[in-house]
Structure 1
Amino acid sequence: MADRTAEDRTPNLPVSVDDIRSAQKTLSGVARMTALEGSRHLTGLIGSPVHFKCENLQRTGSFKLRGAYVRIAGLSPEERARGVVAASAGNHAQGVALAASLLGVRATVFMPVGAPLPKVAATRHYGAEVRLHGQVVDETLAAAQTYADETGAVFIHPFDHADVVAGQGTVGLEILEQCPEVRTIVVGIGGGGLAAGIAVAVKQLRPDVRVVGVQASGAAAYPPSLAAGRPVALDSVSTMADGIKVGRPGEIPFRIVGALVDEVRTVSEDALSSALLLCLERAKMVVEPAGASPVAALLADPGAFEGPVVAVLSGGNVDPLVLQQTLRHGMSAAGRYLSLRLRLTDRPGALAALLGELSAADANVLDVSHVRTDPRLGLDEAEVELHLETKGPEHCVEVAAGLRSAGYTVTG
């Protein structure tokens, strides 16, 4: 998306900076002003200061509490008496559950059948009634809307409401206060509520600051939507980053993102997992894949960002099993895992000799599969599949070359 001057930007937007300032007052004593932490590694990579806005350390583990609380706080007494309903795979669910509990409002939250158990448990812990329905979030949203129609409960949309956008925009006000010298803000985009809110807060106060949105390439609804000039639904979405796994932009966020966000980039699954790994190893931050998307964009094209840069780590609610899988994926993408398949003579001590070669090469064996009965093998052959932890791409090459030099036939 091309850069535009402040005069070119659409003035008549559904959310103003005054709305966001009002939301900030509403959130006083509820949402934390999360820390702004410097990243030495990314600073060195980009050549100018990079900071993390740590919404992964927000109450409920993400920025979603902000918008949910502002939306529910704005309901009339009669609306509050009817209760609220929401649909979410995790972060919005927890935000609505806590916000409703703090405001004394009954909350029902629909979650997909396959939602991570820790997120389901946390949502219940915050006081909501959880109903599991549907395999994907779109089915869950439909069920929640049906419930709202049948019961009169107020549907709390995860991103497509002006109050929600205003609440998320308080992140932008905090960034300007904590880092007044900021030149670029990078933020993940799913439905667009967070990016839209930050853009309103920042562009109306500091139009010189560049706002860059980031989507997972397998769930990138904004680029085709911006090209078409209207929200366009994707035929399918696929990404590990469930926090930004949204197939269609919200109407309200889309208007704002189209008017105020300078650019929307996409990142691969490899980039997301590598970014999550970097956050954990270098910054000691537990971040979910969606929250690591701005870091993925910085890693993918460090020369494209003028600093100082603030990358918004939007959430830290990652299922431990998903974290384990993602870290393995990240290590593989970084060249720190090596999978090999090789053949050796099937005789006593052959496997021990192979493991000795790997030990000498300083490769850590994670898993070994030893096959003797495959019909493709000769009578005196065995096939071994190895999964190794290495020190990086160069070490991978050295290990494979060393095995070939030792006489092993590497087949994969």
Structure 2
Amino acid sequence: MGAGLNAAGEAPALAGIRVLDLSRVLAGPLCAQMLADHGAEVVKVEAPRGDETRTWGPPFVGPDTSAYFTGINRNKANICLDLSTPAGQAVLTDLLGQADVVVENFKAGTLARWGFTDEQIRERWPRLIHCRITGFGTDGPMGGMPGYDAVAQAYSGLMSINGEPEGEPLRVGVPIADMVTGIYACTGILLALQARQRTGLGQLVDCNLVNTAVSLLHPHSPSYLMAGVDGKRTGSAHPTIAPYNSFEASDGAVFIGAGNDTQFRRLVTVLGAPDLGNDPRFATNRDRLTHRGALEDELRPRIATWERAALTRDLLALGVPATPIHTVGEALEDAHVRSQEMVVEVDGHRGTGIPIKLRGTPGSVRTAPRPKGADTLYVLAGLGYDAAQIDSLLAAGTVHAPGERTESR
């Protein structure tokens, strides 16, 4: 489902790019949605059993669709196709013939078993960009092993640095390895599209969750690699900056990050304790880290006398980063978040907006996530299948389509 021209008469950035989304769960669908948001024509292929995230609820927003699924599958046409059958693989061949990009996260060897090895894909469709997303990659000691987001967080060491200092290792509260892998995959595809303009050839874009999670270990990874210092859990505090932590105000929690000496002196001045700015224990960031406990003992009782809105307003006015710690609901209802169009609605679907704001060729949210197989007939017709061929595929159970036949919508 590509996009039309914007208000200025410009096509979106990825207009004319055709993407086949063979992926499920999170990283792949998010990648394909990002491409779709910026104008690519994306067809999502679901097996008859459906993408399992349709069942990941509550909450649900329809008889077979979870809120989870809707967050990563907008702006896509949807075809329900059984790829395990020879007839389904024949349809896949036709879909690949029209695609610029294919995104998949099958278990290692699945495509090859169906007759689509990396070499066969490259030989048959030399301009095709093949984006593969896996848990551990396909080679190395763990190559081919299955992995979800939390497995990648644990394996990479990410969980070991998340949580309170005296607490247990914790999974980050969002599926960060999956989501950043989706972003990396999207970035890799864009790089490959740029390279194709020069070489005329596609290539394999290979991403995996563990590589992503390892890449997110900064600043703990350079601390270990350059100085042998292993990462430790610091709660909301920063391992190399102080003060940089959550604090309790009189009416709730705030986060304050004074990243340099000037910001620190402005902070303590607002708190009515300017002398702390000249205290030799707190003179530099190195000093403040050395005496972090004493520093927070000075700050916490003072911060506790403030209402969070007043304190963060006064600090921000002086250039000191600070904010109330919002709940998810507070953030999504916030006036600034809404002003940035980070909450959108289309056809009854509400979701987060597009974070990359292109001023000349902006992305857009055009269609809600589609029911499974909603566009099967439309997609097959676009491949040149006639009514008899489509009826044969439907009768065999190779494809599924709800409702009555229609050649367009």
For normalisation by structure 2, the TM-score amounts to 0.29
For normalisation by structure 1, the TM-score amounts to 0.29
- Relative contact order: is structure 1 or structure 2 higher (C-alpha 8 Å, sep ≥ 6)? 2
**Which structure dedicates a bigger proportion of its chain to helix?**
1
